[in-house]
Amino acid sequence: MIERVSRAPKWGIWALCVAVAVGLQVAFASSESFPAGLDHTFSDPIDDFGRWQQSARRTNVLFTGFFTPLSDMVGWALDTVESVLLWVPWYVLPAAIFVVVARTKGWVVGLIPAAVMVYPGLVGLWEVTIDTFALMIISVSIAVALGVPLGVWGALNTRVEKSIRPVLDAMQTVPAPVYFLPMLMLFGIGRVPATFATVIYALPPVVRLTTLGIREVPPAAVEASEMFGATKRQTMTRVQLPMALPTIMTGVSQTIMMALGIVVLATLLGAGGLGQEIMETLSQRRTGRGFATGLAVVAIAIVLDRLGRALAVTDRSKLPGRKVMAGAAVAIVGLTVFGLASGITEFPEVWSVKIFDPIDNGVVWIRDNLRWLTRGFNDLVVADFYVPVRDLLTETIAWPVLLWIGTFVGWRIGGVRLAVFSLSMMVAVGLIGMWNQSLDTLTQVVAAVILSVAIAVPVGVWAGRNPRVEAFLGPILDALQTIPSLVYIIPAVIFFTVGVVPGIVASVLYAIVPGIRITALGIREVPAESIEAAQLFGATRRQTMLGVRLPLAAPTIMAGINQVIMMVLAMVIISGLVGGGALGFAAVSAVKRSDLGIGFEVGFAIVAIAMILDRTTAAVADRLRPVAGH
């Protein structure tokens, strides 16, 4: 009886929720979609500003004195780097990469990035690869030049760190393509806006990990430096930065990976390079060519990562002597002079992407012979999930009911603050006229997240318990994380035809990587004493898994699901490229037409969905986290 009384209030709260939802549904059953009261109020000023900046670009001091010189400077740097890389004989670049990496890691290790750099030329992608390589060099250099000092500042000043943390959170939450429109507005079309969009998107990891690395330096080392009379600047440059360098370089590596992810999409800004090749491959539906181009992107990632780590080594004991480096420099110069004098500068034609045609043939064979499976899956997802759920949310359930449910769920999970935040975001999305499109996108996101979690959590649990499985999956997950997301979608379109399913499938392939890895981490970090205690009480392996491992790893697993959601949302624009509709298509259309007002509305809607889901999953993770002492 006591148990029933204690549970009564909870049942009463849920009964109240249902009663309010039913009342709102009856009251607003005949109402149309969310009244977009602020549609033109929000978009028209942005369109007006866009028209103003186009006319003021050559006269206003804001542009003539800042944005135009900045654009010219970055454009000059891009042109210079690309011109130099194309001017020297092709073999000089791999040779220089070999020398830089080999000077710290040995000759054998230096051969790997050098050989990888040759690959794009072998398949006829040398010039477009150099184009993207130059863009990456400038973008990553700017991100590191801004991120490391900012991270050091944040490590030394708690107030600064707290003030920039929400900005970094927003930069990581906002899907990359949302940055494109403001860059178009400020810098026009071409590689310069692509560079700045890449910098903004890729900056947070190097800032965060620089701050983390500086703070993890043992206080004893800092105190010892100060005792010997070192100034704060000397302590930073000679003690803290060198000791934090491994962590900082991890941040640089993450910055490189994130930069490559957006550089490919930056073809929508007219950046060209490998991104343009992949876009053409998508329109031609040639999986083999897409795979070949994707490997060229992977090659750039490997080379830049190895170069960054090699250049970061300053310990003279780990470096060869001056004579060796001088001899290597003379050899590089000699190779350059020989190539220019003999006219051997362009990469010789060896193969082309046609050598990957067997992949195209294999994809076509699968499409023709497994149509019963691929088209069956396509019809199942569209007819039995996507269309019914979308219609339920956009046509059947009245919009006030959805507002109430979203607010109530936010309150139950995260309290009043989350409830108010969720309500305000949803209302704002509705008022700017993005209600139905946002619900359409949310339906696709939910489908992709469900499939991703259904794959990632079991596989992550398996990997977390079996080191051999984790080692086997490592290269596969690295490839899925490195190969541009656009490459995934080419076979998906061929298998499942144009529509929402290719976008969902590509999102799943892209998003399961953090889900698997973070789930495996959570399972692996469950305290051994908890497992031993369960076994001492006679628990079976299954009981230990369900009763001990999974509950203790639940907060970490939830963090992995949070990352899955963010990765799926990052693929929204990719879905728009292949007929996914909703906010993805609207974003692509806005970028292509330079429609600033609609673009900002779409961007805000995507950010609103991302932030609501991010804060909700974070609140769930907090609720699952064990209380200290229990």
Q: From CA 309, how far away is CA 294, in angstroms rounded?
A: 23
Tell me the three state secondary structure of residue 521: helix
Q: From CA 151, how far away is CA 146, in angstroms rounded?
A: 9
Quote the pLDDT of residue 142.
92
Q: From CA 152, how far away is CA 241, in angstroms rounded?
A: 9
Q: From CA 206, how far away is CA 605, in angstroms rounded?
A: 27
Q: Which of 507, 491, 517, 518 is nearest to 574 (CA)?
A: 507
Specify the amino acid at residue 424: S
Between vectors from CA 65 to CA 60 and to CA 70, what angle results, nearest 5°? Answer: 120
Q: From CA 128, how far away is CA 113, in angstroms rounded?
A: 18
Quote the pLDDT of residue 289.
79
Q: Alpha helix locations (H) across 189-343?
A: 191-215, 219-227, 232-235, 241-265, 273-284, 287-311, 322-342
DSSP secondary structure letters along 75-87: HHHHHHHHHHHHH
User: How many other CB atoms are there within 10 angstroms of residue 387's CB atom?
Assistant: 13
Q: Where are the domains of the chain?
A: 43-360, 370-624
Quote the pLDDT of residue 7.
45
Same topology, domains 43-360 and 370-624? Answer is yes
**Do 487 and 265 touch, CB atoms closer than 8 A?**
no
Query: CATH topology for 370-624?
Result: MetI-like fold (1.10.3720)
Q: From CA 308, how far away is CA 311, in angstroms rounded?
A: 5
The percent of residues in the chain predicted with pLDDT above 70, rounded, is 92
User: How many other CB atoms are there within 10 angstroms of residue 616's CB atom?
Assistant: 20
pLDDT digits (tens, 9 = 90+) for 4-61: 444 445 677 778 888 888 888 888 777 767 776 666 667 777 777 777 777 777 777 7
DSSP secondary structure letters along 468-498: HHHHHHHHHHHHHHHS-HHHHHHHHHHHH-S
Quote the pLDDT of residue 423.
92
Q: Which of 241, 322, 263, 22 is nearest to 137 (CA)?
A: 263
Cα separations in angstroms, 366 against 187, 370, 423, 492: 45, 5, 46, 11
CATH assignment of 43-360, among 3.40.47.10, 1.10.3720.10, 3.90.226.10, 3.90.950.10: 1.10.3720.10
Q: From CA 14, how far away is CA 21, in angstroms rounded?
A: 11
For the record, the structure tokens of 321 come out as 């002597």
Mean pLDDT in consecutive groups of 10 residues from the start of the chain, 630 residues? 46 80 80 69 74 74 79 89 88 86 74 87 87 88 90 85 78 68 77 86 84 80 77 78 78 78 73 78 76 83 80 64 74 82 78 74 78 80 84 85 89 88 90 87 88 89 84 79 72 75 83 84 78 75 76 79 80 72 78 75 84 83 62
Q: Residue written as tokens 């999956």?
A: 473
**Do 508 and 455 touch, CB atoms closer than 8 A?**
yes
Quote the pLDDT of residue 552.
79
